[in-house]
C-alpha cells in the first residue's frame, strides 16, 4: 500500500493513469443532469451565476451609456446649453466617457494577473464582485462629469482586474 502525503498523488502527473482519470471525470460530468449538478456543487453554481450576472450587468451598462447622451435628464445634469436653447453633452465628454471604460479595463488587466497570482482566483473574483457593488453607486449618484468619468474608469478597472484578470495569469 502506498502512502500519500498531503498535496501529493500516488500517480505521477502526466502519467496515463492520471489522463484516464481525467477522461472518466469529464465523461461523468457531461453525462450529469442539471439536477445532479445543482445537488453536487451548489457553491460552484452560485459563484458562476454571481460572476456572470455581474459581468453581463457591467457590459450592459457600458452599451447603455451611449444612449443616455440624448436623454433630457442626462443632458440637463451633464450637458451644456446650445445657441438654439437645447441641451447637449459636448462631443469631447461623450468621447471621454465612452473611452473611460476601455481605459479602466486596460488598467485592470495590467494589475489583474498580479492580484490573482498573489491572492488566488476565488478570493480575487469574490473581492471583485464585492467591490463592483460599491463602485456602481458612484455612477448612479454622481453630480459632475469628472466624478462620472472617475466612476466609469474605476468600474472598468475593477471588473477586469478582480474578475477577469485572473484568466490572464493562467
pLDDT at 10: 52
Q: Is the pTM of this model over 0.75?
A: no
Residue 4 belongs to some domain of the structure: no
**Tell me: the pLDDT tens digits for 37-78?**
889 889 888 888 877 787 777 777 777 777 888 888 888 888
Residue 23 belongs to some domain of the structure: no
Higher pLDDT, 5 or 79: 79
Residue 19 belongs to some domain of the structure: no
61 CB-side CA count, 13 A: 21
Residue 151 belongs to some domain of the structure: yes
**Phi/psi at 89 (5° precision):** -85, 125
Q: What domain range includes position 136? A: 51-169
**Tell me: the pLDDT tens digits for 143-163?**
888 888 888 888 877 666 655
| Domains: count for the chain | 1
Amino acid at each position: 500500500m502506498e502512502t500519500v502525503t498531503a498535496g501529493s498523488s500516488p500517480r505521477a502527473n502526466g502519467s496515463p493513469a492520471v489522463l484516464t482519470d481525467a477522461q472518466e471525470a469529464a465523461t461523468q460530468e457531461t453525462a450529469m443532469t442539471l439536477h445532479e449538478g445543482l445537488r453536487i456543487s451548489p457553491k460552484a453554481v452560485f459563484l458562476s451565476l454571481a460572476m456572470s450576472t455581474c459581468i453581463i450587468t457591467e457590459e450592459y451598462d457600458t452599451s447603455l451609456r451611449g444612449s443616455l447622451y440624448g436623454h433630457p435628464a442626462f443632458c440637463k445634469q451633464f450637458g451644456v446649453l446650445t445657441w438654439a436653447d437645447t441641451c447637449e453633452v459636448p462631443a469631447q465628454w461623450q468621447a471621454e466617457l465612452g473611452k473611460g471604460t476601455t481605459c479602466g479595463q486596460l488598467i485592470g488587466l495590467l494589475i489583474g494577473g498580479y492580484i490573482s497570482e498573489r491572492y488566488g482566483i476565488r478570493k480575487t473574483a469574490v473581492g471583485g464582485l464585492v467591490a463592483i457593488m460599491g463602485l456602481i453607486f458612484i455612477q448612479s449618484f454622481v453630480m459632475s462629469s469628472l466624478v462620472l468619468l472617475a466612476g466609469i474608469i474605476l468600474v472598468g478597472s475593477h471588473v477586469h482586474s478582480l474578475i477577469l484578470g485572473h484568466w490572464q495569469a493562467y
